[in-house]
Amino acid sequence: MNRIGGWLSGILSRGALGVFVLAGFLLCRCAQGPEDLAFVIVESGDGVPGNACAGKDPNLQVIATPDEMRALGLTEQLCTLNYRRSFALVVCREQIGCANPSFRPEVEQVIRHEQGVHVKVRFPDVVKIAPVEGCEQVISHPYQIVAVSKGGRWGQTMHFALEVDGQESVERDHFIP
């Protein structure tokens, strides 16, 4: 019995070590922290691009395929984007009564975490009391389009959250191939 007990104990101790090593590897892979995603600005403007900025409130559109690009009418801006390696975000601020480049939204950071993507944006202050010098008095819908590098594995529905000046603003789920 001692021989069998010793043999079994030896296998279990080696097996346990293997299980611990494998578990540690899996935990490291599964518990990856937030990851900053690289992005480039494609375009910024004051007019509504295609029909991506419908409505009067801030908005976030995710464009992950050429079909989605065409459906939003953004073929001119995003026709050369490699959708295997990237996706696009269109960030729209609320309608304002002034067309001025200084009021356009500015994407500051795109962060991926587990099943979600957090988009941090700054909306420059709009002076509401007095007209701003150099401000054309028209209804404007400032926006910014960015192309985000995928990197890593996707192929799943992600939860996108738009954070404007530190406050969650818009959330949506979108499949990223």
Confidence band, pLDDT 50/70/90 cuts, at residue 126: low
- Both 46 and 22 in one domain: the answer is no
What's the whole-model pTM score? 0.77
- Both 40 and 11 in one domain: the answer is no
Confidence band, pLDDT 50/70/90 cuts, at residue 174: very high
Tell me which residue of 121, 53, 129 sits closest to 97, measured CA to CA: 129
- Both 66 and 151 in one domain: the answer is yes
Name the residue range of residue 26's domain: 1-31
C-beta separation of 48 from 141 below 8 A: yes
> Tens of pLDDT along 31-77?
568 999 999 999 998 876 777 887 778 899 999 999 999 998 888 88
- Both 137 and 80 in one domain: the answer is yes
Q: Which residue has the tokens 């709009």?
A: 126
Tell me which residue of 161, 61, 171, 79 sits closest to 113, measured CA to CA: 161
Any idea which of 11-15, 66-70, 74-78, 115-119 has the lowest mean pLDDT? 11-15
- Both 1 and 83 in one domain: the answer is no
- Both 51 and 96 in one domain: the answer is yes
Strand, helix or coil at 21? Answer: helix
Q: What is the tally of structural domains in the chain?
A: 2
- Both 2 and 43 in one domain: the answer is no
- Both 12 and 42 in one domain: the answer is no
Token digits for 162?
Answer: 């738009």
How many Cα neighbours within 13 Å face the side chain of 28? 6
- Both 16 and 91 in one domain: the answer is no
Tell me which residue of 25, 87, 44 sits closest to 62, measured CA to CA: 87
